[in-house]
Amino acid sequence: MPKPGYNPSVVSFLKLREAALYYRVPKSVLKSAFGNVVEGVRVGISGNNVLRWTDYKAGYDPENSNFGSAALGSGVDIGSSPLVRRMMFHLSVDF
């Protein structure tokens, strides 16, 4: 029997936590554009907490908690802040 004021719920969610896409510029393009100065170029984009699909209504994220992994508040959501979504651009140049 649940405790008074405690409303357990079953939550399903799907999350794309990390994603990255990189592209290496072909050497023939580099040679025509830069001669022999640049040997390689790689560009990319990556992100953390990119997408989340859920019908969770009690907060921002069913995976997040104010209590971390402590047993005291396990499974308790009292309006914790959402996990940060980050998008990053990468550029790598080899000379």
Task: Round to whole Å and give the CA distance between 65 and 79.
Answer: 8
Residue at 71 is within a domain? no
Residue at 44 is within a domain? yes
Task: Round to whole Å and give the CA distance between 41 and 46.
Answer: 17
Q: 74 near 26, Cβ under 8 Å? A: no
- Structural domain count of the chain: 1
Residue at 77 is within a domain? no
* Entry pTM: 0.67
State which residues form the domain around 28: 12-53+85-95
Task: Render pLDDT for 25-63 as a digit per residue (tens, 0 to 9).
Answer: 999 999 999 999 999 999 999 999 898 888 877 667 777
- C-alpha separations of 47 from 16, 21, 51 in Å: 9, 9, 10
